[in-house]
Amino acid sequence: MERVRVLIVDDSALVRKLMSTMLACDPAIEVVGTAADPLIARDKIKQLNPDVLTLDVEMPRMDGLTFLENLMRLRPMPVVMVSSLTVEGAEVTLRALELGAVDFFAKPDHDLASRFGESAQEICEKVKHAARTKPRARTTVTRMDVAPRLTADAVLPRAQTAGSRGGSPIIAIGASTGGTEAVRVVLESMPPDAPPILVTQHIPAAFSGPFAERMDRCSAMKVCEARDGQPIQSGHAYIAPGGQHLLVMWDGAKYVCRLHDGPAVNRHKPSVDVLFRSMAASAGAATIAALLTGMGDDGARGLLELRQAGAATLVQDEESSVVWGMPGSAWKLGAASEMQPLDNIAARLLALTRQPHLVAARG
């Protein structure tokens, strides 16, 4: 099997050395070169023809975003951004994902040598998955680790489904790799009076707030990071906070957001399976759920539970997904009744909210 050829672009000699050492430890990866700034990187891309680029955000002579924008316009290729876990770093990284980067790796803010070593498996997995993606720049039209793998049972036991307690429809969306852009495409196509939308996107805690703010700016809906006990209302979208599971509960009169600090599920926190299971129990057939692009299979079993509870379920198709892991797993399980390209998903979700039994329940 051919190894994944990687070019590392970072202005820090220490980071270049640490990244090279980590990636070279994986027999499936070959570090073909390093570059201290984008101008050197430009020449090395031509000379070395790498499969994947790891790209720092803040560099001399040309910043990483400008370089990424030019690269995705002239020579699209898989790029993994290397960013600091700060509010500023989160904003820049989210912008990089908009411009076409496949994924990101959070650079430790201290004790680089030991902290980088702890993340070796994560960055290697991200690079290998990036090599299998279809890079694409944003159009104008519109972590793997060694922790035990737990199911949603670790947070919320499977309960008898609720039918459709609230009557009114409620939308649930799960996503991972490539999902920040996929979620944007869906939310910016929603009208201001759309049914409430709950979103679990695999994202670090420092990134979920800025992500929610960015989505709020591009959507006619009111988008926010979910708070514990927050009432769920039409015209609003709620983003799961990084580092906490988002659940939906029925309090006897309305749906509310519940945050849970339980263990990671499918090695993710927040987990899509947890959100979907909670909605199967609390909203049942009133749910319309979509599983979008993402690495792994988180959300696949939860989507199946929702379908078994009478919910309408769909997945993003392979062609429009950055990584068809999560939606592909759900499709193979029979968890989705239909598959749609990304650009059709918002309209399809809205159409499904007008199902006869939901309209009758609202009336």
Instruction: Give the whole-number percent of the chain exceeding pLDDT 70.
Output: 89
**In contact, 353 and 169? CB cutoff 8 Å:** yes
Catalytic residue among 260, 298, 321, 329, which?
Answer: 298
Do 187 and 329 share a domain, yes or no? yes
Per residue in 118-133, pLDDT tens?
Answer: 788 889 999 999 998 8
3 state SS of 298: coil
Half-sphere exposure of 132 (CA within 13 A, CB side): 16
Do you know the residue count of the chain?
363
Domain boundary (79, 110, 131) is at 131
Q: Which domain CATH number covers 27?
A: 3.40.50.2300
- For this structure, is 51 an active site residue? no
Q: Quick check: is 150 in a domain?
A: no
Query: Tokens representing 310?
Result: 């009478």
Catalytic residue among 176, 208, 320, 321, which?
Answer: 176
- For this structure, is 298 an active site residue? yes
Rounded CA-CA distance 274/277 in Å is 5
Per residue in 328-360, pLDDT tens?
Answer: 999 999 999 999 999 999 999 999 998 755 544
Per residue in 196-210, pLDDT tens?
Answer: 999 999 998 889 999
| Helix (H) or strand (E) segment spanning residue 299 | none
Do 228 and 354 share a domain, yes or no? yes
Do 191 and 87 share a domain, yes or no? no
Catalytic residue among 202, 236, 245, 268, which?
Answer: 202
Rounded CA-CA distance 83/97 in Å is 12
- Checking DSSP bridges between strand 170-175 and strand 287-291, what pairing results, if any? parallel
- For this structure, is 176 an active site residue? yes
Amino acid 141: pLDDT: 36
| Boundaries of domain holding 316 | 160-362
Q: How many domains does the chain have?
A: 2
Per residue in 19-67, pLDDT tens?
Answer: 999 999 999 999 999 999 999 999 999 999 999 999 988 777 788 888 9
